[in-house]
Amino acid sequence: MMQHGQPTRAWKRRGAGSLAHAKEEATMSTTFTSEPQIPMAPTVARLGVPLIAQAPELRPVIQLDHTHKTYTMGDVEVHALRGISLKINKGEFVAIMGASGSGKSTTMNIIGCLDRPTRGKYVLDGEDVSEMSKDERADIRCQKIGFVFQGFNLLSRTSALENVELPMLYAGVDGPARHERAMDALASVGLTGREQNHSNQLSGGQQQRVAVARALVNDPALILADEPTGNLDSRTSVEVMEIFQRLNRERGITLVLVTHEPDIASYASRVIVFKDGKIKKDSTVAKPRVAAEELRKMPAVVDDEDED
């Protein structure tokens, strides 16, 4: 939703062409619209094996300590975050809610190492990232974080295959392995045969699926999703939530998801509500909805019959 003072994401402000910029591009991703399946690249092949749900470990992946963020626009200071202290353990699935302008995306940008707090500390997986340089943060993003945003962010005039290979290039995976893993990931999101298409030769839904394959191909420890179902119809939203729940339960990936929709938040196991740059409420969901069960109950989508 466009609001006054709509945030400019940190990656939009960076100069094109820099290594940090390219790495950012490579680690950005978004949602997809149909038949999502989890990539089966070698690093993620274990997804195909039914696994027992993993309980969250009591090891913090995200630690924000009295984090403040102030944006300066000319003479005006906007206090987007006014002291956020938050601990998210490995394997948690957290939904962030709150009114527009309450600081959700600002927090996600900091958690995702796209931006730095003005004051206060941010420790990611045991490393203090508050003081890291842009390049160091780009490395961390590449290694540990997959992004799923509402709008997709593929490199244009670059094939689907190359887009998916890019994060692995920066992670130092060798050529043949990159190719194989990218092909597997694209196949798993239903894009076999489209590997050589450029972004502008794919539909929006197909581009989004490419972006998902790209986000998952480096096997991230943490997935950040900012309104991932914002542009999706209800069935596709449940499909996306089913993927997220599988990634979380089967692979123990920590998930932080921003949503305005209470229905979507109820798939998470913890809901944090923001208000005016602070945390207003932090609660555990006793019985999260199970997307896979809901999908089974939904009627299949069929085309209308043409009338003669």
Burial of 287 (0-12, 13-18, 19+ CB in 10 A): exposed
Interacting partner of 101 out of Mg ion, ligand ATP, none (Cβ under 5 to 8 A depending on kind): ligand ATP
Based on the shown chain and the rule CB under 6 A, indicate whether residue 3 belongs to the binding site for ligand ATP.
yes
Do 245 and 82 meet the contact criterion of CB atoms below 8 Å apart?
no
Instruction: In angstroms, give the least distance from the CB of 100 to ligand ATP.
Output: 3
Residue 132 makes CB contacts below 8 A (sequence gap 6+) with 113, 140
Q: Is 112 in the site for ligand ATP (CB under 6 A)?
A: no
**Residue placing its CB nearer to ligand ATP in the complex, 9 or 214:** 9
Q: Is 196 in the site for ligand ATP (CB under 6 A)?
A: no
Residue 105 or 206 having the CB closest to Mg ion: 105
* 107 contributes a contact to Mg ion by CB under 5 A: no
Query: Which uninterrupted H or E stretch holds 87?
Result: strand 76-89
Least CB distance to ligand ATP at residue 216 (A): 24
- Selected from 37, 43, 67, 105, the binder of ligand ATP by CB under 6 A is 105
Q: Smallest gap, in angstroms, from Cβ of residue 140 to ligand ATP?
A: 21
Q: Are 9 and 226 in contact (CB under 8 A)?
A: no
Q: How far is the CB of 30 from ligand ATP (least distance, A)?
A: 15
x/- string (CB under 6 A) for ligand ATP, residues 38-77? ---------------------------------x-x----
Beta bridge partners of 283: 271
- 27, 102, 105, 229: residue in contact with Mg ion (rule CB under 5 A): 105
CA distance 307 to 133: 63
Which residues touch 15 (CB under 8 Å, ≥6 apart)?
Answer: 21
What is the rounded distance in angstroms from the CA atom of residue 185 to the CA atom of residue 68?
A: 38
**Pairing between β-strand 93-98 and β-strand 270-275 as defined by DSSP bridges:** parallel
Where on the chain is the footprint of ligand ATP (CB under 6 A)?
1, 3, 5, 7-8, 71, 73, 78, 80, 98, 100-106
Q: Which residues bind Mg ion (CB under 5 A)?
A: 104-105
